[in-house]
Amino acid sequence: MRKLQSLLALSLLALLAPAALADGSGWERHAAVAEAVGEATPQLGQLRMQMPSVSEDGSAVPLELSIDHPMSADEYIESIRVFATKNPNAEVVDFFLTPQMGRPEVSTRVRVNESQTLYAVAHSSTGEVYVASADIRITVGGCLMASDDDIAEFGQPRVAIPRSPSAGEPGEVRTLVTHPMETGLREGPDGEILPRRLLDTLVVEYEGDTVLTVRMHTAVSENPYMRFFMAPEESGQAVFRWTEEDSGDTVEEQATFNLS
């Protein structure tokens, strides 16, 4: 009896142990994702998309994307785009990368309306396409009722660069700016739809060359946060510029890399 039970438990364990794999399959069922993939046959399982499997706060879910891939002038990842298939607007955020980043790894915080699968599509400069996905369950935590406090204004740029960067070594850069990222889909306290007000892009330049462009859509969380890498070869000045959609207003911050 007990032996039988043990055997049963063993087979159950074997069945249950591997976590549901979200490797990007099923991408062709979603028009926006399929369009981003284009004609190529994508490779699954190489691009990594990390999100918590359960989140108690769908308004700011951490998202990290990375892939083991060269970032040299003739072979690099040139874009990573993210889609949330059940959000009102599938496009979440697009990263346009360059070899100057040194490492194809980016993170941000995004809005996820309901439990669903998110997809990411990466293109390399040599025409390879990579797809990844992540399943996420959204619950509103019982002790976590948020308050609707002050609306963020556009400003207060913050940038953190490596303390002692070395030439050609990818170093982590973090940026944050306050902005409401109002989607134009949400009611205000008076029941009126709050007008859409979004950031369009963050552009990062190093000594005049564009290193990274991030295009933001409605699903980028309030006060957009971006984390990525930069690998400058020589000391110099980095400029970080956020531009608002429609108004074209910008906010800028600079940082100096003194390489050792």
Partner 1 sequence: MSDKKNPLATLSRRGLLKGVGAVGALPLLNACGAMGQQGGGDARVVVIGGGFGGATAAKYLKRGNPNLEVTLVEPNEVFYTCPFSNLYLGGLREMNEIAHNYNELREVYGVQVIHQTAQDVDPVNHTVVLGDGTTLIYDKLIMSPGIDFRWNELEGYDEAAPQYAPHAWQAGEQTRLLRRQLEDMDDGGVFVLVAPANPFRCPPGPYERASMVAHYFSQHKPNSKVLILDAKDNFSKQGLFTAGWNEFYGDRIEWVGLSNDGRVTRVDAIRREVETEFGTLHQADVLNVVPPQKAGFIAERAGLTDDSGWVPVNPATFESTQAEDIFVVGDATIAAPMPKSGFSASSQGKVAAAAIVAQVAGETPPPAYFTNTCYSLIAPDYGISVAGIYRTTSDGEVETTSSGLSPSEADASTRALEAQYARGWYEAMAQDAWGTRY
What x/- string results for residues 26 through 45 when contact with partner 1 is judged by CB under 8 A?
Answer: --------------------
The helix or strand, by DSSP H or E, that contains position 159, with its residue range, turns out to be strand 155-160
- Which residue carries 């134009």 as its tokens? 184
Contacts of partner 1 in 89-108 (CB under 8 A): none
Residue selected from 34, 44, 60, 194 as contacting partner 1 according to rule CB under 8 A: 60
Count of residues of this chain found to bind partner 1 when the rule CB under 8 A is applied: 42
Measured over the CA atoms of residue 167, residue 170, residue 171 and residue 177, the dihedral's sign is: positive
d(CA 97, CA 211): 7
What x/- string results for residues 105 through 124 when contact with partner 1 is judged by CB under 8 A?
Answer: --------------------
Give the tokens for residue 123: 């293109």
Nearer to partner 1, 96 or 154 (CB): 154
Nearer to partner 1, 156 or 235 (CB): 156
* 3-class DSSP state of 14: helix
Contacts of partner 1 in 165-194 (CB under 8 A): 174, 176, 178
**Residue 23: what are its φ and ψ, rounded to 5°?**
-105, 5
Residue selected from 39, 41, 127, 147 as contacting partner 1 according to rule CB under 8 A: 147
* Secondary structure (DSSP) of 23-82: SSTTGGGSHHHHHHHTTS-PEESSSEEE--SEES-TTSEEEEEE-----BTTB-EEEEEE
Q: CB under 8 Å to 106, separation ≥6 — which residues?
A: 64, 65, 66, 80, 95, 97, 214, 226, 227, 228
Residue selected from 41, 145, 208, 248 as contacting partner 1 according to rule CB under 8 A: 145
Select from 41-49, 55-63, 116-124, 192-200 the region that touches partner 1 (CB under 8 A): 55-63
Residue selected from 149, 150, 153, 192 as contacting partner 1 according to rule CB under 8 A: 149
Select from 120-128, 154-162, 208-216, 240-248 the region that touches partner 1 (CB under 8 A): 154-162
Site residues (CB under 8 A) for partner 1?
A: 1-3, 5-6, 8-10, 12-13, 16-17, 19, 52-57, 59-60, 137, 139-147, 149, 152, 158-160, 174, 176, 178, 222-223, 225
